[in-house]
Amino acid sequence: MTAPETSRGPRWKLEDIDFDRIDATSIRNDEFLFYLLVSASIVEILSDKYSANLIEHFKGNDEVTHWLEESWQVEEVQHGRTLRAYVQKVWPEFDWQAAHDGFWTEYAPLCQSEQLEPHRGLELVARCVVETGTSTFYRALFSYVQDPVLQQILTNIRTDEASHYAHFRRYFQTYNATEKHGFFAVVGAILRRMKEIQGEDSYIAFKHVYALRHPGRPFDEAAWVRYSKAVKRHARHHYPYEMAVKMLVKPIPMFEPLRRWLELPLLGLAKLSALTP
């Protein structure tokens, strides 16, 4: 396996962002955006820690492990560092480090190698699911925000995430030439990973951000419910459902006409689920 991009450096750097251009007064009162950005930053910045199991899973494939260590992991951590810098510029009074530490203490025990698919090819499919989620999340967030500095950051991040998806899908195609996983095996891997990523890390992150935002107050589950409803409400207007469906079905081995036919009902189901309370 060869990949000409595996040794390249990041496309952009944190130092490229002019944080002094942020108009904090236009953002500080957006409580929804505050929780969204802080939660994303503390999850992303820990990529180098919870990616260890994934790198070990591909031990022996120097091309894949090199790309994971030198490109994917580095860029994911940079996403977290950049979002953290933005949060600290807009909400300097918030104790970001305490929220980060609390999140990792609770989340670290959940990062077990047993969560990975036993077949490398299917784990690469699962990674495509994760990258689909992040790519579409940052695209939706770009559509929601107005600050040009944050839009620049989100454009950089979503471009990275789309590239990560392309790498994982290409590696899957190479592995699947040997492992030969069919339609049902790939769909099963997609569904399993979608079930696993439906909010576990987001919920834990929210809890710790809430605790620091409201010191001394016990955690209010109703606050999480309200936040989740706000996410769904904004998604109806900003989430790229068509993009998500196309990315999810792309790795599934099937004839192209069948893939296009499958996308239509899946898109309808995705939009319908967004309308339910």
- What is the CATH number for 86? 1.20.1260
pLDDT for residue 110: 81
Q: Is residue 13 part of a domain?
A: no
Q: Does position 94 have pLDDT exceeding 90, yes or no?
A: yes
Return the minimum-mean-pLDDT range out of 77-81, 107-111, 121-125, 151-155: 107-111
- The answer to the question of residue 19 being in a domain is no
Instruction: Give me the residue label for tokens 């997609």.
Output: 190
Residue 18 lies in a domain: no
Q: How many domains does the chain have?
A: 1
Closest by Cα among 46, 65, 166 to 120: 65
pLDDT for 67 beyond 50: yes
Would 10 be classed as within a structural domain? no
Distances 200 to 39, 44, 104, 196, 203 between C-alpha atoms, Å: 12, 14, 13, 7, 5
Contact partners, residue 274, CB within 8 Å, separation at least 6? 232, 235, 236, 239, 241
Specify the pLDDT at position 56: 92
CA distance 224 to 171: 37
Whether 11 maps to a domain, the answer reads: no
The parent domain of residue 221 ranges over 24-275
